[in-house]
Structure 1
Amino acid sequence: MIEIAAVYGSPRRQGNSSTLLRHAVSGAREAGASVTEIVLRDLKMSPCFEIYGCKEAGRCVIKDDYGDVEELLQRIDGLMLASPIFFYTVSAHTKILMDRCNSLWVKKYWIEKRPFGQKSYPRKGLFISVGSTRGKRLFDGALLSVKYFMDALDMELWQSLVFRGIETEGQIAESPASLEAAYRAGNDLVRALADSDHPDDDHGPPNDLQ
């Protein structure tokens, strides 16, 4: 069975990005995947201290809830990550997770000495985000951060769903088309992962970073 982690990065439990992710989770489960949901605001997770204890074994040496998350991130087939935009990047909760995954970057590039510039990834990720303004470059910073975060996980940013002009809690519920798009993306992600052994097949929507 395909295993997916769904990571909620919003500081609001009922935030708009969280609502979208819940619909994506429903779509993924409907397609037959096992989905583990992680609410970052509920975890005790320190920022990275950059002490590089991970240079020995490629594992973070800080003892907190990140240890269980790290194990899950190394095991899953796919990832669904949702965060609102704060100052043109992801939420603080999400950024802490990304920074703690520096241990996996160290493992991949320093310990295993894999070459940079990998083009073929065995795993796939979906990023969902909302922002309150309508600026053309509103999501640029977050998308770059997520792309290279997923690279450390041997994962491609397979698709991103981003929605502008969303601010007040619950506002996304006024857009059934957005909720349906999230459900469909979760469903399609599972199908893309199931087809990943067939590189000539159409695996679904391309990511938004070209």
Structure 2
Amino acid sequence: LEIYACRKTGSCAIKDDFQYLSATLLAADATMLASPIFFYTVSAHTKIMMDRCQSLWVKKYWLDKQPLGRSENLKSGLFLAAGASCGTQLFAGAKMSVKYFFDTFATSLWRSLTYRGLDGADEILEHPEYLEEARQAGVELVEQIQC
């Protein structure tokens, strides 16, 4: 459970690699996040990282009292995801989680690239158009920060 030790300072009480990760996210000019989709959301490893950013949310909205949804000078974020199911809502939950995760470090969900029907480790290689689309989105993300 969340212990909210971060309520006093906005910093996570658990001292580990997260301090480096959070500083990197806050300093980044843009962010790209990729995850497989399991049970209609991001992978557990990705979700753990997202949950560790709760201290950033606490600092931004509780301690600094920034109005919800009124971030300025947003950086761009790119989300890439692939899942086995062909369900129409396969990416809805993940996109919402990523949107609010990005928000904790002043980043907007600029673009999402999502691919259904991919389950095996190398199945993406059967779809060079997906790889090219992802590559091009990465190029565009970098071009945004070079302007």
TM-score bin, normalised by smaller chain = over 0.9
Residue of structure 2 in register with 1:172 after alignment: 124
Cα shift at 1:133:
1.1
TM-score between both structures, scaled by the size of structure 1: 0.67
Equivalent runs, 1:17-96 vs 2, <5 Å: 49-96=1-48
The answer to whether the 8 Å contact 1:121/1:156 transfers is no
Cα shift at 1:193:
2.7
TM-score between both structures, scaled by the size of structure 2: 0.95
Cα shift at 1:120:
4.1
Q: Which has the higher helix share?
A: 2
Moved more, 150-159 or 61-70: 61-70
- Is 1:122 the equivalent of 2:77? no
How far apart are the structure 2 equivalents of 1:121 and 1:53? 29
Let me know the Cα RMSD of the aligned residues.
1.2
1:10-30 Cα distance to aligned partner (Å, 9 max, x none): xxxxxxxxxxxxxxxxxxxxx
- Is 1:161 the equivalent of 2:110? no
How far apart are the structure 2 equivalents of 1:120 and 1:85? 30
Count of residues paired in the alignment = 147
Deviating beyond 4 angstroms after TM superposition, the runs of 4 or more aligned structure 1 residues are none
Residue of structure 2 in register with 1:103 after alignment: 55
Cα shift at 1:161:
0.5
The answer for unaligned runs of 5 or more in structure 1 is 1-48, 196-210
The answer to whether the 8 Å contact 1:131/1:165 transfers is yes
Cα shift at 1:51:
1.2
